Every structure is written in C-alpha cells, then in structure tokens.
Chain A
Amino acid sequence: MTSAKIPALNRRQALAFGTGAVVATAFAFRTGPALAAKPATDEAIKAFTRGKEPVRGKVKLELPEIAENGNTVPMTVSVDVPMTAESYVEEVMIVAEGNPNPGVISFHFTPSSVAEANTRIRLAETQNVIAVARMNDGSVFSDVRQVKVTIGGCGG
C-alpha cells in the first residue's frame, strides 16, 4: 500500500472515504503482505511451517466478506497443485487470529485425495482468517481473507 501518497481529504471526501474504507480494507488484505499480527497466530503458523516464511499464492481461501452469522461461516480451501505420489499437499492449516483460540482446523491430504475441502466455522469477531499449506517437500504457501462478523441486534 502506498499510504504516503494519499493526499489530504476535505470533510466531504473524508466522509465518502469512510464508507469506502471497509471495502478498501478488505481489498488490502487480499493483496497486502502482512500475514499474521497476533502472537498466538504467529506462533501456530511458525510451528506449522517449521520456521519458514510462507509464500503467498497457490492456496485459495473462500469465505464470505460478510458473515450472515459468525457461528456458522461456510469456508472452502483449495491448493492449486497436482497431487502425485512424488509431490502433494501434506496439510492445510486454518487459523483465525481474532478467535479465543486461533486454531480452526487442519486438513491432511494424500496423493489419493484432492487438495480441497469445505466446512463451516465459528468466527468470534471481524478478523483475518489465514490458510497455510505445506507440501511434502516442506515448501509452504498461504492465503488470507478478512471476514466481517456483526455482533448484536436480533442475530447476536
């Protein structure tokens, strides 16, 4: 993000930006480099990658931008690699950095499965959900999505 180049806004623009900011933030997370901010999440990822910095890409995490309810959020993760006996995705870990415990689920794949899975997860608040994939040669890839979770009101 080239935040230094953003010019000063007048009040009207600032207001207009305010409404767009939510969208801009979501977009930034899609392309931005920052993976994990929270220590517990960071630790879980480091343990999983055995200290390696995951490369962005290959993994695709699909989540709604706005969860209808945080208690049941449909999620799909897939890794775009061929699955052969020589080269395959071993494991994909999903972590939610804003949950009381960041761990969500880990999928273990084999050459006899396709690197793709779907489930429904609980998200305690608006937060980043991170997927990290580890190949059988130890290389690691990641993706991140921000999900907005609304609390309170009739559904809360």
Chain B
Amino acid sequence: MADVKPRIKLDKKDVAKGGIIEVKTLVSHTMESGQRKDKDGKVIPRKILNKFTCDLNGKTIFSADIESAVSANPYFQFKIKPEETGTLTFTWIDDDGSKIQATEQIKVA
C-alpha cells in the first residue's frame, strides 16, 4: 500500500478567518471486513484503514475512528473552519500499522 496516492479536493484554499473549507478525500483500499470467507471457507482476516485524521499545523481538527462497515475505497467529506494559515495533513492508518499521508497548504487571512 506504500504507493497509494489519496485523492484530496478542497473547495477553496484561501479563506477569511472564520471561513469554511469543504474537504473531500478518497483513498484506494479494499477494507477487508474480516467477515468474508475465501473459496476454501476460511475467514479472510480483517485489514482495514481504522483511523483518519485531518491536522492543521500538527493539531487535529477533524478525525474518524473507522470500523469494517465503511465501504472499500473510503470517501470522507467534511468541513473545517481553520484558525490559521498552514499545512493540512491527512493521515489514514492501516490495521498493519502502515500510513497513507498527504498534505495541502491553506491560507487564512
């Protein structure tokens, strides 16, 4: 999963203080639920992205604890009210401990 490139879209990157940015994220992942069986009847072990965070300059402003009932290729749409200019960091954490990460720069005037 190392080469996974998340898709991220901000409706704007430049807002006045108190302004709202809509964020959409989509990432490729099978989200294996741990409920399915293979052809031999053996349970396929769970392997999902279990955590998503959106940080602004290192401080978490939105996050989600994810269970196996979230569909494959998880999509999140949410809105943030950033207090300051800086770097948004988006992180997805896999059951195997690996991370998918992406960043975006925003400006708050």
Q: A and B touching (C-beta < 8 Å)?
A: yes
- Contacts A105-B70, A120-B75, A121-B71 known; A112 to B82 CB distance under 8 Å? yes
Shortest beta-carbon distance from A70 to chain B in Å: 10
Contact A112 B65 (CB under 8 A): no
Partner of A108, one of B33, B64, B74, B77: B64
Partner of B77, one of A96, A100, A103, A119: A119
The closest CB in chain B to the CB of A123 belongs to: B69
Contact A114 B78 (CB under 8 A): yes
Partner of B69, one of A104, A110, A111: A104
B residues apposed to A, CB below 8 Å: 20, 33, 35, 56, 60-72, 74-83
The secondary-structure label for the interface of chain A is strand
Contact B80 A104 (CB under 8 A): no
With A103-B69, A123-B69 known, 15 other A-B pairs at CB within 8 A are A71-B72, A83-B81, A101-B68, A105-B66, A105-B70, A107-B62, A112-B56, A113-B62, A113-B78, A114-B79, A119-B70, A119-B71, A119-B74, A120-B74, A122-B71
Residues on A with beta carbons closer than 8 Å to the beta carbon of B82: 112
CA A113 to CA B60, docked complex, whole Å: 10
Residues on A with beta carbons closer than 8 Å to the beta carbon of B83: 112
A residues apposed to B, CB below 8 Å: 71-73, 76, 83, 96, 99-101, 103-114, 116-123
Give me 14 A-to-B residue pairs in the complex whose CB atoms sit less than 8 angstroms apart, sorted by A's number.
Answer: A101-B69, A103-B69, A105-B69, A107-B63, A108-B63, A108-B65, A113-B81, A114-B81, A116-B79, A117-B76, A117-B78, A121-B69, A122-B68, A122-B70
- Contacts A100-B35, A101-B69, A112-B80 known; A117 to B64 CB distance under 8 Å? yes
CA A144 to CA B76, docked complex, whole Å: 21
Please give me the 4 A-B residue pairs with the lowest Cβ-Cβ distance, nearest first. A114-B79, A118-B77, A112-B61, A103-B67
